[in-house]
Amino acid sequence: MPFLLMILLILGCSGREETPPRKELSTAEKNLVREVRINHPPVIERLSIVPREPVATDRLRAVVSCRDPDGDRVYLRYTWRVNGEIAGQDEVLDEPLKKGDMVLIKVVCSDGKLSSELTDSVVVSNSPPVAKLAGQRMEGDVYRAEIEAEDPDGDPLSFRLVKGPPGMRIEGRGLLIWKVPKGVSGEFPVEVMVSDPDNASAIVSFSIRVRWEKSRVSH
């Protein structure tokens, strides 16, 4: 029976390696694995400085949306920088600004163990002038009015008469002068444009009502 014996020997040599038993984790190791698996860093879904195109007179605020995938309580930490220098650590920036300033906000969102951060930045834009009709009066048959204007950025301003009755002119820093022709009556629209070097402007519009009464003119 040599043939049968050979088959049995071959079959006896085949088999599987036994897998060694897995090492049981200690309680501390189980807690560590559980913590690593469960705790995730918070996610900052949105960070935006408002307003998006600020001017020097605006108060900037950071709008943040942060969530924790595990439902943990999150804490926000703010760092404002103006032209590279730290300027505040609150939600709102109270630092005085000027045209051309680069403003950056960095927000860190933390659950006490893990954190994430995000930044946003804006540039302070040019502020338009602010102008108004300050006063008007008649001196005989000469009408005078004053346009009062200022620029929040401290830029020099120019005044231009856009619309007015024939013969009206503007002098200096917004002084309107008009020698009212004898016998002229009616309503005359006036429009003055006040501009800064960056072509931002303000318009002052009003009307003059003229009525001649014997030897004098009223408005």
Q: What is the pLDDT of residues 128-160, one digit of tens each?
A: 999 999 999 999 899 999 999 999 999 999 999
**Bridge partners, residue 199, by sequence:** none
**Bridge partners, residue 185, by sequence:** none
**Entry pTM:** 0.67
User: What CATH number has the domain bearing residue 71?
Assistant: 2.60.40.10
In this predicted structure, what is the pLDDT of residue 27? Answer: 73
Give the chain's domain count: 2
For the stretch 68-83, pLDDT in tens is 999 999 999 999 999 9
| Same-domain pairing of 101 and 154 | no
In this predicted structure, what is the pLDDT of residue 26? Answer: 73
| Same-domain pairing of 139 and 108 | no
| Same-domain pairing of 84 and 47 | yes
| Same-domain pairing of 147 and 117 | no
Give the percent of the chain with pLDDT over 90: 74
- Residue 187 belongs to domain spanning: 130-218
| Same-domain pairing of 110 and 157 | no
Q: Is the pLDDT of residue 59 over 80?
A: yes
For residue 60, CA distances in Å to 20, 45, 144, 154, 182 come to 64, 20, 41, 20, 55
Taking residues 181-197, report their average pLDDT.
94
| Same-domain pairing of 89 and 150 | no
Last residue of a domain, one of 96, 123, 150: 123
| Same-domain pairing of 63 and 96 | yes
Give the percent of the chain with pLDDT over 70: 82
| Same-domain pairing of 213 and 187 | yes
Query: Considering the domain boundaries, does residue 82 fall inside one?
Result: yes
Query: pLDDT confidence of 14, banded at 50, 70, 90?
Result: very low
| Same-domain pairing of 134 and 194 | yes
Query: pLDDT confidence of 34, banded at 50, 70, 90?
Result: low
Query: Considering the domain boundaries, does residue 5 fall inside one?
Result: no
For the stretch 73-127, pLDDT in tens is 999 999 999 999 999 999 999 999 999 999 999 999 999 999 999 999 999 999 9
| Same-domain pairing of 73 and 134 | no
In this predicted structure, what is the pLDDT of residue 116? Answer: 96
Last residue of a domain, one of 101, 123, 145: 123
Q: How far apart are alpha carbons 205 and 58 in whole angstroms?
A: 26
Query: Considering the domain boundaries, does residue 16 fall inside one?
Result: no
Query: Considering the domain boundaries, does residue 31 fall inside one?
Result: no
From 172, 190, 193, select the one nearest 180 (Cα to Cα). 190
3-state secondary structure the chain: CHHHHHHHHHHHHCCCCCCCCCCCCCHHHHHHHHHHHHCCCCEEEEEEEECCCCCCCCCEEEEEEEECCCCCCCEEEEEEEECCEEEECCCEECCCCCCCCEEEEEEEEECCCCEEEEEEEEECCCCCCEEEEEEEEEECCEEEEEEEEECCCCCCCEEEEEECCCCCEEECCCEEEEECCCCCCEEEEEEEEEECCCCCEEEEEEEEEEEEECCEEEC
Query: Considering the domain boundaries, does residue 102 fall inside one?
Result: yes
| Same-domain pairing of 61 and 90 | yes
Last residue of a domain, one of 123, 145, 174: 123
| Same-domain pairing of 142 and 109 | no
Query: Considering the domain boundaries, does residue 29 fall inside one?
Result: no
Query: Considering the domain boundaries, does residue 21 fall inside one?
Result: no
**Bridge partners, residue 194, by sequence:** 159, 202
In this predicted structure, what is the pLDDT of residue 137? Answer: 93
Query: Considering the domain boundaries, does residue 2 fall inside one?
Result: no
Mean pLDDT of the chain: 87
Strand, coil or helix: what is 32? Answer: helix
